[in-house]
Chains A and B, each alone.
Chain A
Amino acid sequence: MSVYESICRFKALRTCRITFLPVAVFLSFLIFAGCSRTNSDTSSTAGNADTIRIGVIAELTGDIPSVGSSSRAAAEMAVNQVNNAGGLTVGGRKLKVELFVEDDAAKADQAAATMQNLINQKNVIAVVGPNSSTGAIPAAEIAESSKMLMITPWSTNPKTTLDSRTNQHKRYVFRACYLDTFQGRILASFARNDLKAQKAAVLFDVAAEALKGQAEVFKDSFELKNGRMAGYEIYTTGDRDFSTQLTKIKSKAPDIIFLPAYYGDVPLAVQQAHKLGLNVPFLGSDAWASSDLLALCGKDCEGFYFTAHYSPDSAAAKSKEFVDKFKALNNGKVPDDVAALTYDAFGLLLDAIGRAGKTDTESVRNALANTTGFAGVTGNMKFVEGSGDPIKGAVILRIKDGKFKWFANANP
């Protein structure tokens, strides 16, 4: 990796993630955050204000602008719904919600700066976002040290809610989605029990933390269920040719191939497999969930399954209502995972504020940690005190007639 990294840094300063600068910036922020906390405690300044001030950190520019714009649209929709109904009832008073949307460009340093700004300048009581783990992990460190409540809608990396020093769960950081490890487990039992696969192969992007985690957990869970692995092959981000790995996999004749890969790589791998005469079903994870996959992969992906956070065609009334409203507000755009999860993050937060009956961060945080049964668009969620990771189910989608179709619910 280091050769490749140094070369592409030299050549174009592009997809290589330059880790040192953000880490350095982030460390200096940690020091500042530590200092400022001793000088003045900013966490509960909005205790008895007339509005509820909530911050949003979204990836509006940078590599994944569609994630940020989805998240912002869902946040505005959630807040407008409450305000149009006269506000949120908190301890007998109707309070309006005021939203502060900031851009972190999906960058670690900018996410840290934005979180700092929301805490110190905007005096928010809670922050929803960032969505990408790249931004969410450093932002979460600052939120925790400033005692600021943070809910990330979409960051599935375990490190977001874990304290980097103690490896304990952070007290003030929550998320609205499940973790990478959960998907690996769900897919392994789906392959073994529902698809009756005896032998499974895995091909995954080893340079992507989330995908690597999914592959490892899938392998362990599949073997635990008396399945056999027929190939465990890797590639790195940016590879275009998987023929050699797929030829190796083919020689071991698996019943199924798990492909935790981002949606741009999926069609290449699947089409190359078909050209090699390797015609077994593929399984995917939430990294597949982009409508671009359907356009890029076409008929080759027909009939394949993958896990997602929610399904727009789900029969559940709550999901349907959300999808219809979102489409009406956004020129018919179907809400994606990020939109649904951001909406649920607001749902969780507003529910907690209502139950707390107060608007100071500490009370809201305690109410949120004691959420026992929140019915969200992406399923039912609860928190267990001591962990910011929700207990919730996943959905399994199937690609059928060029569309994502709901196939099954998978509960923990």
Chain B
Amino acid sequence: MAYFLQQFINVLQTGSTYSLIALGYTMVYGVLSMINFAHGDIFMVGAFLFFLFVSTLKLPFVPSMLAATVLTALLGVATERFAYRPLRGAPKMSAVITALGVGVLLEHLTLAINPYPRHIPAMFEGSGTWSAGGVVISQLKAAIIVFSLLMMALLDFTINKTKLGMAIRAISWDMSVVPLMGVSVNGVIAATFAIGAGLGGIAGVLYSLAYPVINPYMGVMVGWKAFISAVIGGIGNVRGAIVGGYVLGLVETLTIVFLPATYRDVTAFSLLLILLVYRPYGLMGKPKTFKV
């Protein structure tokens, strides 16, 4: 029993990372119907910016995390402004290819500036572990899980209860009508990218606290996993992305519990293929009907 509870805590940690990043995919898909494949690399840049502030500039934790989040959000806005907006009228495939290019650019830019794996210094040296009945959870891990859940709740509130959220939902519903209501489409799309990338940056910071060795390719696989999470939940659906992240975390952990660990990625990507074939709108999405 303790063993499975312990594994469940592992699920919560993996799932929190996937969910936070999946939100970025799903929000961009919601407003632009494009998959921003650069998002995993934006997550990586978040981790590296955090390293820059904490380790090179020796700032304390909270300002470093804030600065990394804000700069990652700005990076998200900049990629939209300079890479995706000029292609908004072009076929969707062009934007997706551009996104792949932006991702590779970010990886290699980071590699060019900083070719070696880096180590995030231990920030919470004094933090211990709680244990009860054979289940151990470190305070750091608990804090990461709780903080991720808070961020997701905050986003859910923003989307459903604020004016900005209403504008985002309106664009996702029908982009052509929104300007007629006096709402700036470009402004809302920029805000969506800022929120999505900012959450990716936060995920990068939290991830680098949990796994303190970072390298320029760390975003590739995590980015794919978050993309799968978004598809599981129904891409474009915010609550779906949150649930999808934890579902994928659970599936992966169960795979390693019962099969050799090499089957983990096989299972994850099989899940993606099966969903795309049989239920492309995900667990929580609605099938789209096209009117002629």
Bound state CA distance, A277 and B265, in angstroms? 27
**Is B59 at the interface (CB under 8 A from chain A)?**
no
By a CB distance below 8 angstroms, the chain B residues around A264 are 117, 213, 215
Query: Are B119 and A296 neighbours in the complex by a CB distance under 8 Å?
Result: yes
Bound state CA distance, A15 and B252, in angstroms? 22
By a CB distance below 8 angstroms, the chain A residues around B138 are 275
Q: Which of A7, A267, A275, A298 has the most B CB atoms < 10 Å from its CB?
A: A275
Query: Are B220 and A8 neighbours in the complex by a CB distance under 8 Å?
Result: yes
Residue of A nearest to B273 (CB): A3
Bound state CA distance, A52 and B110, in angstroms? 45
Q: Which of A12, A240, A245 contacts B107 (CB 8 A)?
A: A12
Stretch at the interface among A78-86, A228-236, A363-371: A228-236
How many interface contacts (CB-CB < 8 Å) are there between A and B? 95
By a CB distance below 8 angstroms, the chain A residues around B222 are 240
**Is A206 at the interface (CB under 8 A from chain B)?**
yes
- B233-292: which have CB < 8 Å to A? 252-253, 256-257, 260-262, 265-266, 269
Residue of A nearest to B115 (CB): A65
**Is B164 at the interface (CB under 8 A from chain A)?**
no
**Known contacts A11-B220, A244-B256, A275-B141; A296/B213 CB under 8 A:** yes
Query: Are A268 and B213 neighbours in the complex by a CB distance under 8 Å?
Result: yes
**Is B3 at the interface (CB under 8 A from chain A)?**
yes
By a CB distance below 8 angstroms, the chain B residues around A3 are 265-266, 269
By a CB distance below 8 angstroms, the chain B residues around A275 are 129, 136, 138, 140-141
**Proximity string of chain A (37-77) to chain B, C-beta cutoff 8 Å, 1 when within and 0 when not:** 00000000000000000000000000000000000000000
Query: Are B211 and A277 neighbours in the complex by a CB distance under 8 Å?
Result: no
Query: Are B211 and A268 neighbours in the complex by a CB distance under 8 Å?
Result: yes
Bound state CA distance, A108 and B222, in angstroms? 29
Residue of A nearest to B136 (CB): A277
Q: Which of A234, A240, A251, A295 contacts B218 (CB 8 A)?
A: A240
Q: Which of B6, B224, B260, B266 contacts A247 (CB 8 A)?
A: B6
**Is B13 at the interface (CB under 8 A from chain A)?**
yes
By a CB distance below 8 angstroms, the chain B residues around A1 are 262
**Is A412 at the interface (CB under 8 A from chain B)?**
no
**Known contacts A12-B103, A15-B217, A268-B211; A234/B260 CB under 8 A:** yes
**Proximity string of chain B (201-245) to chain A, C-beta cutoff 8 Å, 1 when within and 0 when not:** 000000100011101011011101000000000000000000000
25 A-B pairs whose Cβ atoms sit less than 8 Å apart in the complex: A8-B221, A11-B37, A11-B104, A12-B104, A12-B107, A12-B217, A14-B107, A206-B262, A235-B261, A240-B213, A241-B10, A243-B14, A244-B10, A244-B257, A245-B261, A247-B6, A247-B10, A251-B3, A267-B212, A268-B211, A268-B213, A275-B140, A276-B6, A296-B119, A296-B213
Q: Measuring CB to CB, which residues of chain A are less than 8 angstroms from any residue of chain B?
A: 1, 3-4, 7-8, 11-12, 14-15, 206, 233-236, 238-241, 243-245, 247-248, 250-251, 264-265, 267-268, 271, 275-277, 295-296, 298
